[in-house]
Copies of this chain bind each other. A is one copy, B any other.
Amino acid sequence: MIEETSKENIELRIQMASRAYQFLKNTTIKERAALMNAVADQIEALGEELTQIAHVETSLPLARLVGEKARTIGQWRSYAKAVASGIYSDPRIDLAQPEKQKGDLRKYNIGIGPVVVFGASNFPFAFSTAGGDTASAIGAGCPVIVKAHPAHPQTSQMMADAITNAVKEFGWPEGIFSHITGTSYEIGAYLTQHKDIQAVAFTGSFNGGKALFDIAHHRENPIPVFAEMGSINPIFALQHLIENKAEALAKEYISSLTLGVGQFCTNPGVFISIKGQSLDRFIAAVRNEIQEIKPAKMLNNGIYESFEKHKSNTVKQPDTEIIVTTETEEGKASVTIIKTNAQSFLNNPVLSEEVFGPFGIIVICENQEELIRIAQNLKGQLTITVAATSDDVRKNAELINLLKDKCGRLLFNGMPTGVEVVYAMQHGGPFPATTDSRFTSVGPDAVKRFVRPISFQNWSDEFLPEELKNENPLQISRIVEGQVNTGSLKLETV
């Protein structure tokens, strides 16, 4: 039973967040990084109880949860390190030039204001209450109000307590972090509509993300919404690769498609290739690979029911045929792979919709032109994979150039599941994969979502933030008069 946080309490928490923002704005990147490391320590200290509870609440295997916990701690620490480096403060200094009547201008990034984070169900640690969104918003200098995902309430509460403890330990305002619980749609809408909220981060379904995106746009002061709304992550398998490696590719494909019962936003739901003996071999190998896979419990009943509904709607579309489906068991998800032709895939939008779970569509093209037509008509994706030899790449330059417009991450072989938490990760893509292709929700660059620049003109050193003082007390890299500068400024005193 999920307790619904009352309207009065939500209002109070928003007011606390607004006051905490006035405090956070004047903390330095080093101070915020220290808080983030303290949160990491708190999470680390939670021990086995956390993974046990999450296991019961999500049905995710313990080993996976242990890994996800380590990843979450790693996120706090690596984002802290990145924030402390000054990379997201992006300081720029242009000195006064009295002979040109040009003033002293100094710019850096401040936190955008209180942020609402909607936790995801499929990553109870890494993308939920104390996940990457919360870490990157706090790193940016923004208080966070988490709307907890109702599918893992105890896990969420433990994570919330870890953050709250770290904030208390620092003696910083409690409003830096708030934990709101409830199952009603209204809570999310209320938070997103509130005039004091300045940004929203969301990971989940298209309908959920789009609804928040619309609410935020129609406010008196519209605010950014960073919604990651899933993807079908197509694989384009080109001629020589499939010819050389049909069986190995099938093995890799099935392994990625069924990983975590298919409950990843980078799950490769669509496999596209040109008809022929090699593709026939691939399909035969898929049939073979899939035999042994047992039905498995999904994250929760809502997700399971939605999976069954979307799957049955997809398999009954014309010009589709089930290639293979695994052993079934009531209440558990089995794996299904269907095939269709390029024309149907192009003309029937149902076939391009994400079926969240272990479900794949193999799209069989007549020729190269159909492959390009599919690329041209693709909606925005988190990832696209090109399964190819180097020779295939050389021969498909036009196709590959087109695919860049449709995704945030373009893979040369391998599979899209497995999202590394590094600087070079882009977890985001053109609409409808996300609401804003210019930002990532994985990797330290996620911090960028929650900052905005402010310029100070003609302020004396005393009143400037540490990031912009002459002395460069934080010893960060700054752009001074257009050049990278890591030192302090020796200005002649007037």
Contact = CB atoms under 8 A, between A and B. Distances in A.
Interface of A: 22, 25-26, 78, 81-82, 87, 92-94, 101-103, 105-107, 110, 112-113, 213-214, 217, 221-222, 224, 379-380, 390, 393, 400-402, 404-405, 407-414, 418, 420, 422-426, 428, 430-432, 435-438, 440, 445, 451-460, 462-463, 477, 479, 482, 484
Contacts of A440: 453
Contacts of A436: 224
A217 B22 CA distance: 31
A94 B422 contact: yes
A25 B463 CA distance: 43
Nearest to A113: B405
Contacts of A402: 22
Nearest to A216: B217
Contacts of A437: 112, 452
B412 A92 contact: no
A441 to B, nearest CB: 12
A339 B317 CA distance: 69
Given A217-B217, A409-B456, 18 more contacts: A26-B401, A92-B423, A105-B422, A105-B424, A107-B426, A110-B404, A112-B438, A113-B405, A221-B379, A221-B430, A222-B431, A390-B463, A408-B454, A410-B455, A412-B456, A422-B482, A423-B482, A424-B455
Output the residue of A420, A422, A424 with the most chain B CB within 10 A.
A424
A113 to B, nearest CB: 7
Contacts of A432: 221
Count the copies. Answer: 2
A458 B408 contact: no
B454 A410 contact: yes
Contact of A94 (B112, B379, B423): B423
B409 A455 contact: yes
A475 to B, nearest CB: 13
Contact of A92 (B102, B105, B424, B460): B424
A479 B477 CA distance: 13
Contact of A459 (B103, B217, B412): B412
Nearest to A404: B454
A455 B411 CA distance: 8
Contacts of A82: 482
A186 to B, nearest CB: 23
A431 B217 CA distance: 11
Nearest to A423: B92
Contacts of A222: 213, 431, 435
A32 B15 CA distance: 48
A315 B358 CA distance: 67
A411 B401 CA distance: 46
Contacts of A453: 408, 426, 428, 438, 440, 445
A402 B103 CA distance: 23
B217 A424 contact: no
B457 A94 contact: no
B423 A107 contact: yes
29 contacts: A22-B401, A92-B422, A92-B424, A92-B445, A93-B424, A94-B420, A94-B422, A94-B424, A94-B425, A101-B418, A105-B420, A105-B425, A106-B424, A107-B423, A213-B222, A222-B431, A224-B436, A224-B438, A390-B463, A407-B454, A408-B455, A409-B454, A409-B457, A410-B457, A413-B458, A422-B482, A424-B455, A426-B455, A437-B452
A482 B410 contact: no
A390 to B, nearest CB: 7
Contacts of A102: 420, 422
Given A26-B401, A107-B425, A477 B484 contact: yes
Contacts of A482: 78, 81-82, 422-423
Contact of A454 (B393, B426, B445, B463): B426
Contacts of A101: 418
Contacts of A425: 94, 105, 107, 455
Contacts of A112: 437-438
Contacts of A110: 404
A47 to B, nearest CB: 25
B25 A401 contact: yes
A423 B380 contact: no
